[in-house]
Structure 1
């Protein structure tokens, strides 16, 4: 399967730089995949498409303020994006795998000065831009990040250092139901929900089940293997508790909110379509040809060309169906990517 079959043209002006002023007022394309029919609606109309007995599955992972700006000893500024916590060699130190930008002059042993009087030491190169870094903050690291970190926005959302103070990204790049700290990217399909959305859904007899998948930075990365089948997903941890498993197993239809909830459900479902409470890690890569075991409906944002996320929605609705819908979305000036509009696939 050729990756070039999963690209499309998108004007830069349609890449959303700010979220919709009101979360649930974003636009929602409704794609009827069997009929190849499209409706243009708004997100607050989502309950019109669900019914009693449906279970809406959300990912309740919370985005940590994982972006820091540091000063090198030479005086230059470097962006530090936390990727995953590692087991540190020094007691009480926080050792993380991070992404450094720019990384071309990074070297083991370099000392970085961080906000709030903290410091970090670059330890080892992992790959071209990834390094292990040891942080010394003199305080609880989670509390330090809450005070000094910024939202880990994807690279296509442009912000200057300190720009986060001018716009509440730490609030809007977070779902209203986020609970479990651990993601370095938002499960963006959930950004549209508000309490009134959930009230309207429950009034129709729709149940809400929460699962957890901590989203890694790899969600932003394009597939680079020329043969799609050769792509390897980065490992992400997930959890489904007993209450969620019971609700999902009893569902008339399962409506997944986003590709992350979809991957949790499909990773945890057995061949009989049943889910057990579980905690683990997944590298599940869903691309055309995959047979879905549990997800019946999918709410998702509009994704980057040649990305694993676009491949997943193409597996769910069909490549031609999705690419045609994306062409129509461009013509209708939908807003794309993390802060953009959404698509409900029925």
Structure 2
């Protein structure tokens, strides 16, 4: 047990080495943990009990994305992408190792860019902080040796819980800023946003979704008509529209209504039933609680992961996007001046989309499918 105690101290130091040491140099202090337990990530960032956490770099070089304002008056979409976040896993084979995690998201704003801007600015920092504190707390509760299966399942559960807490805290932070209606109107804080977030870790994918942006995996299949392959689109998200039976039930149970004005809308206003922000509709069943997939293994047939705002799908289907990927691969493989993400956005706009357009394209090569030491 003495040796294990030394490991805990080392773990605490390593966990914090790339972020911050709270008021003492031994890792997360009791007072800082209390701040976290009481108020989550926003409280830690604001507290004098904990030193300031540095911001993680967004938009890593190998994260391919593209955006276009389209025919809207302003660009309310935001993206966040960090495919090289370094984290410390649970102890395996009695040694510590730093591994890599990828996180990417599309925030499709409406009624202004304030909510989507808040989401994109806070996602990586909040997620990393939640992961560190939850992992540190778990290790503090450690009793005995982890088996390999225990270590893996606990690791994945901590990542999932960190993601859920992150989305909750982003909404709470924005909602708190706009909780006084007069101030919200004055500072234009009545906006809202989708949040479609994917996590890549250890050859697996986790997706959390709020609203009607989408995450899609494209899997290579043989056509049966010859040597050419085709791509099958596997949607990982379900749109949160007010007329979906379970969504409608929640809205109506809180006194809200679903009224069709072009499309079904909450109280005739909002065309989605889950969103970050939209404070004036919270009382009518609009929530920021994401639907989360289970962890899915990255199959050897998976080629691309695409995360996109609904503007892309105003003029394209998921299968259309797959066809564009194949076209780009076959015609531009020698080094195009534009990227695949730009190619998708341009085609969506040319085919008639009038909305803001945003897409993140992640090739699911071996580089992303495995944990990197």
TM-score range, shorter chain: under 0.3
Please identify which structure carries the higher helix content.
2
When Rg is computed on C-alpha atoms for both structures, the one with the higher figure is 2
Q: With CA pairs under 8 Å and 6+ residues apart, which has the higher RCO, 1 or 2? A: 1
What's the TM-score once normalised by structure 1's chain length? 0.27
What's the TM-score once normalised by structure 2's chain length? 0.25
